[in-house]
Chain A
Amino acid sequence: MRFLEAVLRTVRHSRRLATGLVILGLMVLLALLSPLIVKAIGGSTDPLELAAYERWLVPGPGHLLGTDQFGRDVFAMVISALAVSLQIGAIAGLISTVVGVIVAFVAGYKGGWIDGLLSTFTGILLVIPTFPLLIALSAYAKNVSLFQVGVMISIFSWPFAAKTIRSQVLSLRSRPYVDLARVSKARDLEIIGTELLPNLLPFIGVGFASSALGAIFGLVGLEVIGLGPGGVIDLGQIIFNAINTGALTLGAWPMFVVPIALLTLLFAALNMINIGLEEVYNPRLRGVAGE
């Protein structure tokens, strides 16, 4: 309950954070309702079935966004792909955040050579172009489950979370109340659990949002060059299909414009949450990002 109040208070302080959360919430809701929506569109037939309708129908009252080269309803496809994209983002974001938090705590709290080693490693992963590595990994990952895709993508998105959280651990670790806990002989884990972690929650949120963003970005990247893992239809794959089946020349714009618009909205929402959280909790930035 206290936690909820704190969240509400935070949201009230930043219109940007609130906007981001509302957009994200609506998208999650849409994704949760996707089976119902797909059913409502199809009626008795499955709108995602091959040759459910005629091919290349133009958008109209029957099919809001038309149909694709196999006669599937584009609107239904987009809605269910949105659910997949969000799931990937959530899975990969969660894994990355957990790894990032662990690395950040070990590095930032312990300091010394461990910090040097871990930070150099994180830094290298952040600076070098990792997309070729991700592409290569995906080339050998056909027929994988949604969860496995998430794991695969998080190999490259945890440094985003680690970097954000480590810098906060560094600044928190020298605060008076941590010193107090230390002189009163609290164990490291105790200090981390009771003193550091609660104060880091907003930044863990930032880490989650940025790695989820990085993960969806990565998967879309893989999908649009046709190297996405098999068995997963996310928004990126719809864009890939659109390009490869000539939707560009046929003028079937809904097939790529709608997924792009949805993903852009998602990226915008995640970024708003990031910046909103930073604004509220990082006093140095307060009002800096501005209206």
Chain B
Amino acid sequence: MTTEAPPVVAVDRPQDSAPTTGVRAWLSRHPLAAYAIRRFGLYLVELWGALTIAFFFFRLMPGDPIQTLIQTLQQNYIYNQQASAEIIARYQHEFGLDGNFFSQYLKYMEKLVLHGDLGPSLINYPTPAQDVILRALPWTIGLLGISAVLAWVFGIIIGAVAGWRRGKLGSSVATNLSIALSHVPYFFIALILVYVFAYSLGMLPARSAYDSRIEPGLSPDFIGSVLKYGLLPGLSIVIIGTFSWILSTRMLMVPVLGEDYLVYAEAKGLKGWRILTRYALRNCYLPQITAFGISLGFIFNGNVLVEQLFNYPGLGTTLVTAIQQLDFNTILGVTNIAIFSVLTAVLILDLLLPLLDPRVKYWK
């Protein structure tokens, strides 16, 4: 945890003298609410910090992208020098590139926070970048979200059983495979899967997210096609993801097995399976909920390459296309959306945890 001063405390300081009434007293009577408020404060700090890092990272980069962009624009417009200077000024204003870094930053943040506006996209000018991103977002959420959750569930189940039956052959095979494969990029598996199932056997499609001959909609045909096209990219994330969850679950499981309450449960004559699911497993999956949130950013990174390989119309492909075309607002927009989604997911999971796990105490 962090020692970052939550805003709440600063606001409440004058009421220190009257602890029985007022906000502070209320907070000490409602520790869960106090935790939620403090956690939310931290979330805002993190979000602001991450968005600021991203903004200045892009603006301060050596080899100014704006210059390149303007040069491209200049070459594309066959105007005289005077007119092109005006055009440049107009574009600079429109893309939010006029003024110094700090005023650019303030303007960007103001548009982002108050209007949810990411500025115009260059590839699809004058469509705003947020529209381009919102078109891609459902694909990524669908592909990444479902695969990440599936990997988590499989990993926890297999990891728990591997910890439970430690010393057995199956368990050690699973453990060693996980150690070997848990850090391999999804992309590697994806490439092998594509080669085998799409190119060699011709069983599954290698590119795109659905059959272009089918009209997008809620028809069974379309849904079937989406599932079929999503199978290979999804599978690559599920396979590697499962391996990394197996390892961490097993590490959580083994110390639990030595606990007194498990010995007691066994002495009571409970069946092994019941002990595993009701007693042991419950103590391992809860810490993994937090870990799931933390892993999302990492999964997103890997997902970019998978989407690119399959030409899947999600955020990853949008990002790579935007970079190739130096579409500045879209690049920053995708980064910001990814940051926002990951931090929000972590926040929600952290807030849910006290409800799921009665032992978690966030107050002193």
Contacts and interface: CB of A to CB of B under 8 A. Distances in A.
Interface of A: 16, 112-113, 115-117, 119-121, 123-133, 135-137, 139-141, 213, 217, 220-221, 224-225, 227, 239, 243, 248-249, 251, 253, 256-257, 260, 263-264, 267-268, 270-272, 275, 284-285, 287-291
B323 A136 contact: yes
Interface string B282-317: 000000000000101110110011001100000000
Contacts of A112: 3
- Secondary structure dominating the interface of A: helix
Interface residues of B, number: 65
B167 interface: yes
A44 to B, nearest CB: 35
Contact of B49 (A124, A221, A287, A290): A124
Given A116-B3, A264-B188, A271-B182, A124 B53 contact: yes
Interface string B50-63: 10011001100111
16 contacts: A128-B339, A130-B301, A136-B331, A137-B61, A217-B185, A221-B305, A225-B304, A227-B323, A243-B191, A260-B188, A263-B184, A270-B183, A271-B179, A285-B251, A288-B250, A289-B247
B297 A129 contact: yes
A264 B335 contact: no
A133 B326 contact: no
B340 to A, nearest CB: 9
Contact of A290 (B4, B187, B195, B250): B250
B23 interface: no
A170 to B, nearest CB: 12
A268 B180 contact: yes
A141 B323 CA distance: 13
A248 to B, nearest CB: 5
Find the residue from A135, A225, A264 having the highest chain B CB count within 10 A: A225
Contacts of B54: 128, 133
A120 B45 contact: yes
B132 interface: no
Interface in B252-300: 254-255, 294, 296-298, 300
A251 B200 contact: yes
B194 interface: yes
B12 interface: no
Nearest to A261: B188
A131 B191 contact: no
A221 B254 contact: no
B335 A268 contact: no
Given A136-B331, A225-B304, A289-B251, 7 more contacts: A115-B3, A116-B3, A127-B346, A128-B54, A135-B319, A289-B247, A289-B250
A32 to B, nearest CB: 24
Nearest 8 pairs of A and B residues by beta carbon: A116-B3, A140-B63, A131-B301, A268-B180, A129-B300, A132-B335, A129-B297, A129-B338
A191 B172 CA distance: 41
Contact of A129 (B172, B320, B335): B335
B192 interface: yes
A131 B3 CA distance: 28
A291 B61 contact: no
Interface in B333-352: 334-335, 338-339, 342-343, 346
A132 B199 contact: no
B183 A271 contact: yes
B2 A217 contact: no
A290 B166 contact: yes
A160 to B, nearest CB: 11
Contacts of A289: 175, 179, 247, 250-251
B308 A16 contact: no
